[in-house]
Chains A and B, each alone.
Chain A
Amino acid sequence: MPEPRTDDRPKRSPFKVSVSQLVVAALIGGLAFAITVQVRDDDTDDYSGVRGDDLVELLKSLDSANERLNGQIDDLTDTRNGLLSSTQRSQKAQKQAKQRAEQLAILAGSVGASGPGIEVVVQDPNQQIDAAAILDAVEELRDAGAEVIAINGVARVVAQTYFLDDADQIRVGGREIKRPYRIEVIGDASGLAEAVRFPGGLVDSLENRGASVIVTKKDKITITALADVKSPEYARPTS
């Protein structure tokens, strides 16, 4: 602190620059610089003014909080892992169920199907082919590995399908089938074709009845005809 001085010195002009004024300016500038630096530094470092005991307490509380949070992390990680594995399990089960549902849907004829196979066209000018002959043909095709069978593009042949003679017509699963009969089969094309052309096989037995049969192998057959799916009224699954 400047001590009071008793001598009366002549007042200097404020615009006259002297060395001592420059020194005063430098000191004040240094003070301003230091204050600015310290204030900015305080913004970044909150703990420089905290005493040791307080710091120890702070550290302890942070340690315990850290421990608690670590425990929480472990718990939550366990939960997450459990959920992940159960999700994976249920995804797997869902995938299997979907696959199974697709298989069953094709078997039951509730969805369309496509794949390689053969097309058997039966010309029957003498009207000698009856329901039993068609049923025989279907049985032979099944024997040869047919997976999906449809007749004339309207009647899908599944386990429940019945064949019926009805006044000069044939009914397959309730649907009227007109001549010529066109049987579309999905399965191993070459195996099916050989099986139907086998001596004494499908082609022979149909031609013996005066029909002409054309068998065509196809790379892709698309069957859109669906069977009427009825839910069983009496039967219940045992498992």
Chain B
Amino acid sequence: MIPVIGLAIGVIAGLVFQPTVPTDLQPYLPIAIVAALDAVVGALRALGERRFDDRVFVVSFISNVVIAAFMVYLGDQLGVGSQLSTGVVVVLGIRIFANAAAIRRRIFHA
């Protein structure tokens, strides 16, 4: 219940303040969002399997975001920023799909 309220507050704040992304953050924000989505989908799966743990979620969320951003930063420094971003997005996408498939199997038994 509380997380749903947090979600609503976040969306409303984004719509109301309409901030522009700072230029320094611009390359990292999309990847960070995908990484955070991965963490959220994993949490949903754990919730479905009744083994959700707040601490694990918080740690995985933050570490996902930080590591994804760091990889993009590293790629930029090495001159392979776009390729590495693509790689990170592909890996995170695969994980999101896998977790979504697990949730689907649990809910629909299919």
Residues of A within 8 A of B (CB): 1-5, 9, 11, 14-15, 17-18, 20-38, 40-41, 44, 48-49, 51
Contact B21 A38, beta carbon cutoff 8 Å = yes
Contact A1 B95, beta carbon cutoff 8 Å = yes
Contact B40 A38, beta carbon cutoff 8 Å = no
Q: Closest CB-CB distance, B5 to chain A, in whole Å? A: 6
Q: Closest CB-CB distance, B104 to chain A, in whole Å? A: 17
Contact B61 A40, beta carbon cutoff 8 Å = no
Interface SS, A side: helix
Chain B: CB-nearest residue to A52? B82
User: Can you name 20 A-B pairs with beta carbons within 8 Å?
Assistant: A2-B56, A3-B60, A5-B51, A20-B55, A21-B2, A22-B2, A24-B6, A25-B7, A27-B58, A28-B10, A32-B6, A32-B8, A32-B14, A34-B36, A35-B33, A36-B14, A37-B20, A38-B29, A40-B18, A44-B20
Interface SS, B side: helix
Q: Which 3 A-B pairs have the closest CB atoms?
A: A36-B14, A25-B6, A32-B10
Contact B82 A48, beta carbon cutoff 8 Å = no
Contact A2 B37, beta carbon cutoff 8 Å = no
Known contacts A1-B64, A2-B43, A38-B29; A28 and B7 CB within 8 A of each other: yes
